[in-house]
Chain A
Amino acid sequence: MLDKYECLKKLAARRTDEVVVTTMSVAMPWAELSDGPLDFAHVESAMGHAADFALGLAIAQPERRVFVINGDGSTLMCLGTLVTLAQRPAPNLTMVITENGTYEVTGNQPVPGAGQIDYEQICRGAGIQNVYTIEDADQFDAHLEAHFTGAGPQVFIWKIAQASEPVPKPKRPIRERAHNLRQALVG
């Protein structure tokens, strides 16, 4: 089982100019590591739509790597997006699914099918070819570079331990964050 905080620290240490879209229980831990214009906390509800949002960024910015770090609950909200990612492949898109089996920010209630879902198989069935399930720190370290350089659309499923994060509250309103992201990308 992975410690998501350790994974995020390693990702942030390797990260350079990539866009990082985060959701729910990852948004605030990531913001403690990096909270610049290229870090976008997708937490205004619209749960499930961080991945399609990130796909749009990746298509519009083909020279820049775009990450979306999604929870398993968020992924389940819009499973069809996995098909959308496959049918319009963005080589610069990396999706992470943090799988802990719960809705962490609302008190760790179980997500539907918790413990019975094979996300790797679902992703492959949707047409995404590069999918990796990561269960321990050694595997994470071995795959860290591929997060940044592998051919997208690619999905890394992090099997993470349950934790307890409060409801995310970004420092700046979403409209300001969106404006800052566009300024950083387009000028």
Chain B
Amino acid sequence: MLSSEKIIDALEEQGVTHVVGVPDNGSRALFERLWAHPQIEVILTSREGEAFGLASGLYLGGATPLVLIQNTGFFEAGDGFRGTAYNMGIPLVMMVGYRGYKTMEPGAPRVDTAATFFEPTLKAWDIPYTAMHEDGDIAQIPAAFAKARETSLPTAVLIVPETV
């Protein structure tokens, strides 16, 4: 489990103004806490590809957005990501739920391709990433922002267990 409170503390430290995306089971608690946040605005999109266009517009307009989606939606978002955030050179951090992670463990009854396709796709799309497995990994968030600013390109932080 990952602490939503600690994640939000990290987002506040980075000056995040907007969280854009689509909730899933893993990010449910985080979204619920964000909805109640007095400074960070949550903007839902109908599909994940929109999140990258919307966040890119927010950034160019002077805001500091974060994209929050699940890996299934990440796959759908390919052209939106490539044609906006990546090609525009937006230092955008995305947090992506790692659906199916446990199905890759030895002995799992079935493998979820949302998990097995995920990291190869991140690499193919030239997205540096780290993963949060426990609260101690929340320190990856400022590192991801620093990397995005340094490269002027998007980076990703993967949400492995559910947020609480």
Contacts and interface: CB of A to CB of B under 8 A. Distances in A.
A and B assemble together: yes
Contacts of B18: 59
Give the residue among A47, A60, A87 with the most B Cβ atoms within 10 A.
Answer: A60
B55 interface: yes
A87 B44 contact: yes
Interface stretch (B26-34, B46-54, B116-124): B46-54
B79 interface: yes
B88 interface: yes
Nearest to B65: A56
B53 A46 contact: yes
Interface residues of A, number: 33
Interface string B29-66: 00000000000000111110111111111111111010
Contacts of B63: 56, 59-60
Contacts of B59: 56, 60, 182
Contacts of A47: 79, 83
Name the prevailing secondary structure of the A interface residues: helix
A88 B162 CA distance: 27
B23 interface: no
Interface in A52-80: 52-61, 78, 80
Contacts of B87: 44, 46, 174-175
Interface in A79-117: 80-81, 83-84, 87-88
B89 interface: yes
Nearest to B81: A46
Contact of A178 (B45, B82, B88): B88
Q: Is chain B's binding surface mostly helix, strand, loop or mixed? A: helix
A46 B82 contact: yes
Contacts of A26: none
B73 interface: no
A56 B44 contact: no
A81 B55 CA distance: 14
Contact of B57 (A44, A60, A175, A186): A60
A84 B21 CA distance: 11
A175 B89 contact: yes
A80 B62 contact: no
Given A56-B59, A84-B54, 5 more contacts: A49-B80, A52-B51, A55-B57, A80-B45, A186-B60
5 contacts: A44-B87, A52-B57, A52-B80, A53-B56, A81-B46
Interface of B: 18, 20, 43-47, 49-63, 65, 79-80, 82-84, 87-90
Q: Lowest 7 CB-CB distances: which A-B pairs, in order?
A: A46-B83, A56-B57, A60-B61, A80-B46, A49-B53, A52-B53, A178-B88
